[in-house]
Structure 1
Amino acid sequence: MCSYRRVTNFYVQCGHGVPKPDEEIKCGAKNCIFSPNHPPTCQGRACKEKCFQHHQFPQQYSPHKEGKCPTCA
């Protein structure tokens, strides 16, 4: 299933976390309505019964950056 990646840069010198906009990660599966490989002919009730209709829980990623955040710098 497709999901979102939620990135928050953590700045070591000031201790602040700065979130970035969520990024959609495409899965490539044919049975996910958000995938670029989902057939356009798959619609209606049959699609809702066999295809994923929602994103997975967001992936959390917090890289540590040396220095201060943009506000403190």
Structure 2
Amino acid sequence: MCQYRQVSNYYVLCGHSITEPDVEIKCNSPKCIFSPKHPATCTGPSCKEKCFQYHQFPQQFSPHVKAKCPNCA
């Protein structure tokens, strides 16, 4: 299933965090309606029964950057 990646950079030298915009990670599965591999002909009730209709739980990352944030630099 497709999912989102959420990144919030923590800047060690000033203690600030900056959250980046979410990025959608495509799964390339024909059974996921958000995937580029999902057939355009797959619609209606049969699609809702056999294909994923929602995103997977987002990947969340909080890397610690050994620098000041762009606002403090």
Q: Please indicate the TM-score interval, normalised by the length of the shorter structure.
A: over 0.9
Higher strand share: 2
TM-score, L = length of structure 2: 0.95
2:56 corresponding residue in structure 1? 56
Question: Which structure 2 residue ranges, 5 or more long, are not aligned?
Answer: none
Shift of 1:50: 0.6
**Cα deviations across residues 5-30 of structure 1 (Å, max 9, x unaligned)?**
00111101111110000000000111
TM-score, L = length of structure 1: 0.95
Q: Distance in 2 between matches of 1:7 and 1:67?
A: 17
Shift of 1:67: 1.2
Alpha carbon RMSD of aligned pairs, Å? 0.7
Question: Which structure 1 residue ranges, 5 or more long, are not aligned?
Answer: none
Matched, 1:33 2:33: yes
Structure 1 residue identity aligned to 2:38: H
User: After TM superposition, where is structure 1 displaced by more than 2 Å over at least 4 residues in a row?
Assistant: none
The total of aligned residue pairs comes to 73
After superposing the two structures, state which structure 1 stretch, 18-27 or 59-68, moved more: 59-68
Q: Distance in 1 between matches of 2:32 and 2:51?
A: 5
Q: Which SS does the other structure have where 2:57 is aligned? A: coil
Q: Which SS does the other structure have where 1:58 is aligned? A: strand
Q: Percent identity?
A: 66
